[in-house]
């Protein structure tokens, strides 16, 4: 769909004539007619169009996502039309890069990459610069700020594999990982990687009060715990788990 077609779609949805839209934009009716007929593809008044129709500039310019009319304009109350915008998440993520943020209905959202533990291996396995995510999940930025002081580009979602953390974490659960935490700072769940086999896994790390060694524990009692001082065992911390999500069967 062309820009002109999107303008026509919105104009007809709110029952405006070309003359009415032209008046609100501040151009001649002929300009709107040429735009909608495809004779003009890059109007200089695109900002005024978006403001007059009250639609997101991103959608009007690129056509990515969908808009739905939720409130028509009213001459009696002088209210503008209201639209619900559904963004094309993966397109926004691809264009925004690692700092993937967008505004929707007056709120700020972040796009967090999602990785699979079975496919994640090697140095920087949860690194947005070197690894290709499965897709992206959307989180409200104010909600994220309630979890961590790290910026969204230091966060990643990982799909858990295996049963070693049962039943705290089950196979297929999703966890939110703070990648800014690359050292042990308190007891909790961490994403770790052993250098000798490059496997990424989730374990519970507990500091022994006397020896100061770390206990690497699986919550499933069928797996024996290990102790480590990190450096000698070639153990790297990829991040700390700060949230989990599970489907209800």
pLDDT in tens, 10-67: 899 888 999 999 999 999 999 999 999 999 888 999 989 988 888 877 778 877 767 7
pTM over 0.85: no
**pLDDT, position 3:** 92
Query: Is residue 92 assigned to a domain?
Result: no
Query: Is residue 93 assigned to a domain?
Result: no
User: Containing domain of residue 23, as a range?
Assistant: 3-86
Domain limit, last residue, from 36, 54, 86: 86
Assess whether 117 and 205 both reside in one domain.
Answer: yes
Assess whether 112 and 81 both reside in one domain.
Answer: no
CATH code for the domain in which residue 198 is found: 2.10.109.10
Which segments in the chain show pLDDT lower than 50?
75-77, 96-99, 121-124
Assess whether 73 and 115 both reside in one domain.
Answer: no
Assess whether 122 and 176 both reside in one domain.
Answer: yes
Query: Is residue 7 assigned to a domain?
Result: yes
User: DSSP string of the chain?
Assistant: --HHHHHHHHHHHTT--HHHHHHHHTS-HHHHHHHHTTS-SS-TTHHHHHHHHT--HHHHHH--SEEEEEE--BTTTTBPPEEEEE--HHHHHHHHTTS-EEEETTEEEEEEEEEETTT-BSTTTT-TTTS--SEEEEEEHHHHHHH-SS-GGGEEEEE--SSTTTTTS-TT-EEEEETT--S--SSEEEEEEETTT-BEEEEEEEE-TTT-PEEEE-SSTTS--EEE-STTTTEEEEEEEEEEE----
Query: Is residue 198 assigned to a domain?
Result: yes
Assess whether 37 and 78 both reside in one domain.
Answer: yes
């Amino acid at each position: 769909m062309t820009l002109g077609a999107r303008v026509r779609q919105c104009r007809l949805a709110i029952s405006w004539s070309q003359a009415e839209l032209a008046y609100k934009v501040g151009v001649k009716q002929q300009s709107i007619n040429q735009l909608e007929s495809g004779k003009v593809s890059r109007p200089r008044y695109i900002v005024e169009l978006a403001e007059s129709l009250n639609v997101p500039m991103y959608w009007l310019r690129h056509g990515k996502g969908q808009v739905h009319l939720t409130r028509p304009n009213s001459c009696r109350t002088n209210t503008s039309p209201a639209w619900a915008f559904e963004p094309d998440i993966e397109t926004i993520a691809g264009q925004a890069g690692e700092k993937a943020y967008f505004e929707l209905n007056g709120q700020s959202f972040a796009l967090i990459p999602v990785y699979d533990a079975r496919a994640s291996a090697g140095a920087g396995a949860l690194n947005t610069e070197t690894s290709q995510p499965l897709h992206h999940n959307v989180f409200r930025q104010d909600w994220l700020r309630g979890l961590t002081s790290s910026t969204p580009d230091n966060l990643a979602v990982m799909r858990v594999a295996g049963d070693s953390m049962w039943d705290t974490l089950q196979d297929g659960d999703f966890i939110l990982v703070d990648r800014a935490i690359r050292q042990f700072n308190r007891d909790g769940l961490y994403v770790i990687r052993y250098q000798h086999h490059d496997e990424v896994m989730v374990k519970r790390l507990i500091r022994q009060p006397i020896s100061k060694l770390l206990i690497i524990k699986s919550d499933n009692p069928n797996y024996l715990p290990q102790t480590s001082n990190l450096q000698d065992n070639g153990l790297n911390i990829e991040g700390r788990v700060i949230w989990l999500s599970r489907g209800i069967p």
